[in-house]
Copies of this chain bind each other. A is one copy, B any other.
Amino acid sequence: MATGRTHRPATRSRGIPEATVARLPLYLRALTALSERSVPTVSSEELAAAAGVNSAKLRKDFSYLGSYGTRGVGYDVEYLVYQISRELGLTQDWPIVMVGIGNLGAALANYGGFASRGFRVAALIDADPAMVGKPVAGIAVQFIDDLERIIDENGVSIGVIATPAGAAQQVCDRLVAAGVTSILNFAPTVLSVPDGVDVRKVDLSIELQILAFHEQRKAGEDNGAPADAGGPVAPPVAARTPVADPAAATTAAGAQGDGRNGPDGDMPAVMPA
């Protein structure tokens, strides 16, 4: 019976569960909408519906923050907006840098959701000299050589990577070396970072694959076609599967032609410096 867990002793004193933290932005968004409509208070039931969760979960989540509700009444919208904002750290200004201003990077830069939540795009950075100086979302793109200086001068601690997969790790390393300690990664690669640096990733194709899994299962149910277009998923033409053959005894399978360089190429790029 080894009782010795030498890994991270449970300090469960004041920690907010990760699952709860992940839902706070959801509550915040719903509350902001209510606030804009000048709704003074909400019940857990109403707010839960607006946020797309169930009320017991919401009450439990809020209980980790403190007792901000009033029994028999509900929660004060404004007060809760403030408390959650504070808890999430959104009452301060977070300058961020975005590296890789291709299609996706540009879309992100134009996305209003950042600015409206306490995030400020301090710089857009790309490795393509042709991009440098071009305004994207009203901000001139800067060259990647200046990355360290930019981070330093702006006190940036959060970086967004929207480069092609091949460049992501290098960019990540430079960000971390320059002092960034939180990274949001849109490149389809696993980044390795030292302890103390947080990485969150958003992989567009992964979400679709998860949907496909469930979709396939629906089609395979004993009964199908709840509506119309269901059926056996009819794949009329082509459907050249990108995967290997079942039996495929051959381990050979040398690089199947395929001039691709990397699983997903797109976006102009930040290439090795």
Contacts and interface: CB of A to CB of B under 8 A. Distances in A.
A257 B199 CA distance: 7
A38 B254 contact: yes
Interface stretch (A127-135, A139-147, A184-192): A184-192
A15 B239 CA distance: 22
Interface in A35-81: 35-36, 38, 40, 50-52, 65-66, 68, 76, 78-79, 81
Main SS class of interface, A: loop
A269 interface: yes
A244 B88 CA distance: 13
B206 A26 contact: yes
Given A38-B253, A79-B244, A182-B215, 19 more contacts: A8-B259, A11-B251, A13-B247, A14-B248, A18-B254, A21-B213, A25-B203, A81-B243, A112-B263, A113-B205, A114-B208, A152-B228, A157-B215, A157-B230, A165-B271, A178-B229, A181-B215, A192-B266, A198-B255
9 contacts: A18-B254, A36-B255, A40-B251, A79-B237, A88-B213, A104-B111, A157-B228, A200-B207, A200-B254
